[in-house]
């Protein structure tokens, strides 16, 4: 069993959830301790990996895999889908690729896939064919999205789900299975609460005992050896080469369902609300004409 012990340094969610959370985030900014952002993408990940054990040594010793061999793995992950080559990249560049894009590599004792479709709001619902790919091995899922402040991570050992956590401030705890890892304990103990920004009217306490992205980054460090924010990395994600593929449902059903979901969200969102801090120190809602 994996036993990450790294402590904190600081004291597939659906598109609908992302968009709705975007509206909420406009009216409830939060104070977090300063972090070093190294990319314009924000805290977003979509990772699924299969490994013979701890994946960090495989990433540390990563070499460029063969494209044809990697493509075979991608076809196994997405059976029946159309697979076309796109430009290569690195784990840092494409830890959260665009829709219909998969980045992957085959390493000594591990395979890594970056694909939005492979992270789930409830990780325990991992499709059976993906469990079969990881039979007898360790499977690791990690997902974050900074718009909805959502994160998930999960670990299977030899087919058994050992730990799964998925949560966001708006959706609450979607899944919490297994015993927390040691790196989680300070968060659940309330050592890293989120403090609301002063001046916002009618704002209650943050709905979770910690910020999901803070724990998500900690989990990424413990499970994969690197992070998207300010933690010092054991693994250099820019040194892990990935092959890129456009992977699409030939029937078009997957793409159509996704576009329909986006359209439904936009229809329900309404106009964004805008606020300005007044001379009294309180945030007041303003009309677009007042800007």
In a 13 Å sphere around the CA of 10, the CA atoms on its Cβ side amount to: 20
In whole angstroms, how far apart are CA 236 and each of 26, 35, 142, 186, 279?
Answer: 33, 18, 17, 26, 47
In 3D space, the residue among 210, 281, 165 whose CA is nearest the CA of residue 30 turns out to be: 210
Average pLDDT, the chain: 84
Query: 73-122, pLDDT tens digit by residue?
Result: 999 999 999 999 999 999 999 999 999 999 999 999 999 999 999 999 99
**Which parts of 108-238 are beta strand (E)?**
110-114, 138-145, 150-157, 160-168, 172-177, 195-196
The pTM score is 0.82
pLDDT band, residue 265 (cuts 50/70/90): confident
In 3D space, the residue among 277, 224, 286, 261 whose CA is nearest the CA of residue 92 turns out to be: 224
Q: What DSSP string describes 89-109?
A: EETTTTSSPPTTEEEEEEETT
Distance CA 142, CA 216 (A): 8
User: Residue 88: phi, psi to the nearest 5?
Assistant: -75, 170
Query: 12-39, pLDDT tens digit by residue?
Result: 333 333 333 333 332 333 333 333 333 3
pLDDT band, residue 269 (cuts 50/70/90): confident
Instruction: Name the more confident of 145 and 275.
Output: 145
């Amino acid at each position: 069993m994996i036993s990450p012990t790294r402590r904190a340094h600081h004291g597939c969610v659906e598109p609908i959830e992302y968009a709705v959370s975007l509206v909420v985030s406009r009216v409830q900014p939060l104070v977090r301790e300063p972090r070093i952002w190294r990319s314009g993408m924000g805290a977003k990940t979509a990772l699924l990996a299969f490994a013979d054990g701890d994946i960090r040594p495989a990433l540390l010793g990563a070499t460029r895999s063969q494209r044809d061999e990697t493509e075979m793995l991608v076809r196994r992950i997405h059976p029946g889908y159309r697979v076309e080559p796109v430009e290569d990249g690195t784990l840092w560049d494409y830890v959260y690729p665009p829709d219909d894009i998969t980045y992957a590599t085959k390493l000594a004792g591990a395979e890594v896939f970056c694909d939005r479709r492979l992270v789930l709001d409830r990780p325990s619902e991992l499709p059976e064919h993906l469990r079969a790919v990881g039979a007898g091995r360790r499977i690791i899922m990690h997902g974050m999205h900074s718009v909805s402040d959502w994160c998930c991570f999960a670990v299977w050992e030899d087919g058994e789900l050992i730990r799964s956590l998925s949560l966001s401030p708006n959706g609450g705890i979607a899944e919490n299975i297994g015993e927390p890892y040691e790196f989680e304990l300070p968060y659940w103990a309330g050592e890293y609460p989120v403090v609301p920004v002063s001046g916002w009217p009618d704002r209650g306490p943050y709905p979770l005992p910690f910020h999901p992205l803070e724990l998500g980054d900690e989990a990424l460090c413990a499970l994969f050896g690197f992070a998207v924010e300010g933690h010092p990395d054991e693994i250099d994600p820019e040194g892990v080469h990935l092959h890129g593929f456009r992977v699409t449902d030939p029937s078009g059903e997957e793409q159509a369902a996704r576009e329909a979901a986006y359209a439904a969200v936009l229809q329900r969102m309404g106009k964004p609300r805008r606020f300005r801090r007044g001379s009294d120190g309180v945030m007041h809602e303003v009309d677009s004409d007042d800007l």
